[in-house]
Structure 1
């Protein structure tokens, strides 16, 4: 390789600028490295290598951030400005490629190889040159930015490579296009590339011209419309109609202009307003159109509140309003954290499931307060018409939008916290299925184009944070359930209820009943007795009612008996509220034969279930009472069949099923009961009755049984454990597969209960039955 081809030369990186050979341009240089490169060039032969940066925003580029191919230029003039920068006049000489960097510390100094144009002087090149000059002439006529002198000098060039460089340096192109032209050494390819680029630029200029004509025409039409309206106003003024309908229309038009509407909605409202102008005021259609315009203008289309994404603030608000409920609070804080990172998160759809009174609705209100969003609530209980969700078409008399759009109007922003209360209470009839209409509302992939029959235009619900509440998941259709994130709120422990009463309920009821803080005091022992003996619930709604009753009686004593202060102790509770309604702890007072305690899960939370078995001389008839469901009856029959197959191991008479009638009863017969989790409880009660071995009174149990005696997992362990704890039970027998659910149980409850995981009924009997024997029936 010829050593003379390589040149050692200073490098000047250019930001957002590319210099072609033959191009003369002024450059202002201010960076320290660049100034040193200039000084180095002036000390040598006044030649410098100009190469563009890949990212113009970078102030101190590395070698990887500078293009390898650039232009060797000659410095014709250099002037130092008062602000410390250097202004130089450079002229591009030829292309060159960087082979290596010799120095990049104080200034860039590189070794480059000159690149010569590869010209063939073929007929094809001549044809391309003519086409390029023709396109450039047409472009210059359209752009009005290229002088006649420049055009004349371009048309005089006969060297194809020089022609491309001259044209490229005189038209505004993207940096990537200019660099591509600079790097194309083959002249024929460069001609074709530049011809393609100019053709695209020409199309862009034609589009700009069309758009300009359209805008001008639109402005002329607007001026014409304004002129005609002013004439109409003058005529009406002469006729004595000063305001009338035109004043109303002008007011609506002003509202349209002031409200930031999407383009399609703006056109729609303008169209409806034009119809409203044409329709006689006495026509029935006039009021329909006016109502529609009012609805569209009252809805939020672009109005949005700014989220408060401060996690500490949100956590403080949630803890202020609610005690416990750690999972829900954690989920809200996760949502805020992700939104901080992405700034484009679609609104999550949470479904808070739990018994009445646990604070589902108030929790949704707290979420809105924590993130500074508007809050809106609609109740779906009893909704059985699809039009309640999607709205009625405008052809119906008295048509209105659906509840979703009505809720958005109340919210007045496009990103509220929207509470769908009692979503499990929706029904359906001949008018449609509202739960199917809710599928579109609650699907993050679809709700950005929610369709309401009344609006007849799609509405964006993607920024809404939907929160649903339900008491029972079984009544929610599976497709709707699949679109929501289920968060269970099972109920409160006694400790949690005490804390909630002290921090929230008593303070609230004192205020509502006009009492000051010092006028009523409920002692701790009185509060605990109130929780244990006067309420039995998963939530705190009943507890709040009892506290409200105490406040009313205290108010009467303060007003009527002139007392300064009322102190409620454990003894005074009966005086104020009467005899206790419930017995605290429903477990048996002593071990019983034929009676076992099961744990149940209901819509109102957990409860304990006493199952009784009695034997009577007969012919083996099995009787089940207590308003049991089919599943529960089948569990009893499975337990009965298993015991018959294991009479020898259980030391039961082999022919018991021929000598005795067996009666299984579950008390509280007016309450429907169903589910498989009472299987091992029924089996234990049966074995106890047949063997005469009593069941330990402190033991509660839950689990499904198979014909082989295996114990299968169940649901609702947390709720069942809370009910057992309330009832004084200390030992709970659970399926082995449910050990993973123990972490969900509050630590205060878990520490006071003994959990025994089992896999087979033999283990259940070993832990549940006492070693003592009584005479069997």
Structure 2
């Protein structure tokens, strides 16, 4: 540190600047700033005040603060109820920040005083007089500064101090004030201030002229309004005109100013002529007026400019949704084609998946990615064709269909239009709405869509339609043919864990008035919550449970005066109660007659124990456990194969004549079906009949033929996650499913050994204990 330089705390100012000799109140709320003030009060009560370069910055770094500021004396300091400090400061002298000594907890700077540099005394005197004269003129126009201020300023004899005091009273930009503060040369400072003062006076003169012009215009408008009201009253007394005439004029003006095409405008003006002739008391009058208002408010040519940028679209999709990689990839491909072809014609996307997996929010993200307006209509429960095509204008209360209503809401001819729950439409004696949707979704027809209410054709070819559905089977074939299905199978446990940590929990913490530091949920606790308190494909139930967790935390913090709640695997039961669901775990020992299969449900994967026992009888095969037709057929096929290969499998050749066999799948109240339990049933049968145990750590999935071939299955990713959760370390899968291993998370693949098989003999070799 040099001899003349000193160290003192620094207070960065936002949108504010203090000149020497200026007295000002400041409200201080930032931690670093409060610490700087406290440090100043412990010393000689001096502090350097420097303005930030950017007002919006909450946590400025040294490079974000101007190098020249004002050393000030802290006169008073008062703590307000909201935690901020109100201080009274008086500017002393200019100073330059030479270097920063500390920037962590507060700013401590080494500063050097900047003294005024004087020039020719006569020139300074002349500039002082000019400044005072201009300042007096400014005050006359401004009327914001009292005459007493002028008297006070006129008594100042030091030119540098005069410039600073005048500058502090002007409504200048922060950058202009900073330039004045940085000028050490007094002559330069006064010349620059004269220029700024002159500009400010010109602006005020213009404001005064504009204000006078507006006031004159308002007086004229008020006068016209008064005269019109008088004219209406006179015409009413004479019976010359009524309110309908003025209404017709307004409608005509709106029609001419709207963006409707010429042929539609002709129709509208023709209907307006009819409206003029029909008595106002007639029912038809309200029908025509309603029709005209719809024609006026509908968008006919107004559109938003597409900004299809694949990298931006990918960023938006990743921000809004975790996982769903294949779905995102297909959407990006779709957008890339639209950009290359510069047309919207192409397949209509239909997002299919269970509730809560993000179908609607994906459509919103697409709209945001391509800079289009977003509109959504729900088709759940729609039974009437008029809901899509509109009602005919033959009765009071007729209105357009939901498509035209959606276009009005969108306000443009090219929105992203979401047809939600398209699989929930149904039909009755009032018509088939799904048939009406055929025209809406066909790119070859929808440029001339006909609504019964509007009657004139409406162009839907620029609309990007996206549909959502839970179940494809209930969508009629012709309608399904117009759409490309994108399947959202649901989230895995690992994906749900990420979604909960990165999206749902922060959202619920904020909505329930908590801070991040007040609630900590460990990963193991989140996983337990996902597994044992929710059972769903999406994340709606998970969000509800997290909201409940936040509410319980809020109650604990308020009632028990705790600063932080940490949710562990043990404490989660105290907060949410006993677990609602349970999941299968692998057997503790190798079992005879019990094999572990893998099941795929709408809410994810799970393990399925298949038990087989035999007892003296006459070869009767009993199946229990509420099995569907497919699983019953799988059991029959496995039984027939074992009978045909009894010798090779070392089973009594006539076992089917001596024993009754019972195959049972536990949890009998839960319906089960699907083509993937064939090899599991066959393994359990062989185990029971040979007395060889099935390895406890082995799970299997695959269908079987009468020749023992193993057929491929679906849902390998979900089944693998269920097996991993249950503790299985070896999975026997069909050879044709090896291609699906890439979709399984790496953390799961590393813990499980996959054995691809093509025949039941290979299954038995790996699944049964012994040779």
Give the TM-score normalised by structure 2.
Answer: 0.66
> C-alpha separation between the residues in 2 aligned to 1:760 and 1:571?
46
- 1:267 matched to which residue of 2? 266
Secondary structure at the counterpart of residue 549 of structure 1? helix
Q: Who wins on radius of gyration, i.e. which is larger?
A: 1
Check 1:268–1:687 CA distance in 2 against 1; reply closer, same or farther (3 A cut).
farther
| Contact 2:259/2:299 (<8 A) preserved | no
Inter-partner Cα distance in structure 2 for 1:632 and 1:691: 23
Give the corresponding residue for 2:653: 654
1:125 aligns with: none
8 Å contact kept, 1:699–1:729: yes
Q: Confirm or deny that 1:454 pairs with 2:453.
A: yes
CA apart distance, 1:236 = 5.9
Q: Quick one: structure 1 residues 244 and 590, their matched pair in 2 at CA, closer, same or farther if it must change by over 3 Å?
A: farther
Return 5+ residue gaps in structure 2 as ranges: 1-231
- Rounded to whole Å, the distance in 2 between the matches of 1:733 and 1:325 is 26
Residue in structure 2 matched with residue 494 of structure 1 by the alignment = 493
Which stretch shifts more, 239-248 or 502-511? 239-248
Aligned equivalent of 1:681: 680
Q: Is the 8 A contact 1:347 1:463 kept in 2?
A: no
Secondary structure of the structure 1 residue equivalent to 2:751: coil
In the alignment of these two chains, the number of paired residues is 541
Distance 1:258 1:383, change over 3 A: same
Aligned to 1:276: 275
* C-alpha deviation, 1:550, in angstroms: 0.7
Q: CA 1:243/1:610 → structure 2, altered by over 3 Å: closer, same or farther?
A: farther
Q: Which residue of 2 aligns with 1:698?
A: 697
The equivalent of 1:92 in structure 2 is none
Q: By how many angstroms is 1:744 displaced?
A: 3.2
CA contact (8 A) 1:347 1:464 kept: no
Which residues in structure 2 correspond to 1:324-473 (within 5 Å)? Answer: 324-346=323-345, 348-395=347-394, 398-473=397-472
Give the distance between the partners of 1:436 and 1:700, measured in 2 at CA.
47
Mapping for residues 626-637 of structure 1, pairs under 5 Å: 626-637=625-636
Q: CA deviation at 1:238?
A: 7.2
Question: Where do 4+ consecutive residues of structure 1 move more than 4 Å?
Answer: 233-238, 240-243
CA contact (8 A) 1:354 1:603 kept: no
The residue correspondences of 1:61-72 to structure 2 (distance < 5 A) are: none
SS at match of 1:764: helix
1:282-309 superposed Cα distances (whole Å, 9 cap, x missing partner): 2222222222222232222212112222
Q: Which residue of 1 aligns with 2:726?
A: 727
Contact kept? 2:287, 2:395, Cα under 8 Å: no
Instruction: Provide the C-alpha distance between the structure 2 equivalents of 1:734 and 1:478, rounded to a whole number of angstroms.
Output: 34
Please state whether the residue corresponding to 2:566 is helix, strand or coil: strand
Do the aligned partners of residues 392 and 731 (structure 1) sit closer, same or farther apart at CA in structure 2, a change above 3 Å counting? farther
What's the CA shift for 1:260? 0.9
Residues 347, 462 of structure 1: 8 Å contact kept: no
Matches of 2:398 and 2:663, distance apart in 1: 57
C-alpha distance after superposition, 1:692-711 (max 9, x if no partner): 22223333322222222222
What secondary structure is seen at the aligned counterpart in 2 of 1:677?
coil
Give distance in 2, aligned partners of 1:353 and 1:431.
Answer: 28
Deviates more, 1:729-738 or 1:321-330: 729-738
> 1:241 offset after TM fit, Å?
6.1
Write the distance in 1 (CA, Å) between the matches of 2:432 and 2:280: 38
CA contact (8 A) 2:593 2:693 kept: yes
- Distance across 1 between alignment mates of 2:355 and 2:693: 37
Is the alpha carbon distance of 1:493 and 1:256 closer, same or farther for their aligned partners in structure 2, counting shifts above 3 Å? same
Deviation, 1:549, is 0.8
Matches of 2:551 and 2:265, distance apart in 1: 56
Q: Secondary structure at the match of 1:755?
A: strand
- Structure 1 CA distance for aligned equivalents of residues 689 and 491 of structure 2: 38
Aligned to 2:738: 739
Distance 1:472 1:610 in 2: 28
- The equivalent residue for 1:311 is 310
Q: Is the 8 A contact 1:348 1:466 kept in 2?
A: no
Structure 1 segments unaligned to the other structure (5+ residues): 1-232, 773-777
1:221-249, Cα deviation, whole Å (9 max, x unpaired):
xxxxxxxxxxxx99966735655112222
Match of 1:595 in 2: 594
Residues 95-114 of structure 1 mapped to structure 2, 5 A cutoff: none
Return the alpha-carbon distance in structure 2 between the equivalents of residues 749 and 480 of structure 1: 39
CA offset digits 1:660-701 (Å, max 9, x no partner): 222222233333332222222222222222222222333332
Instruction: Report the CA distance shift for 1:302/1:634 in structure 2 as closer, same or farther (over 3 A).
Output: same
Cα deviation digits, residues 363-392 of structure 1 (max 9, x gap)? 221222222221222222333333332233
Could you give the per-residue CA deviations for residues 560-619 of structure 1, whole angstroms, max 9, x where no partner exists? 222222222222212111223344553333332222233333333434333222323222
Rounded Cα–Cα distance in structure 1 between residues aligned with 2:271 and 2:414: 27
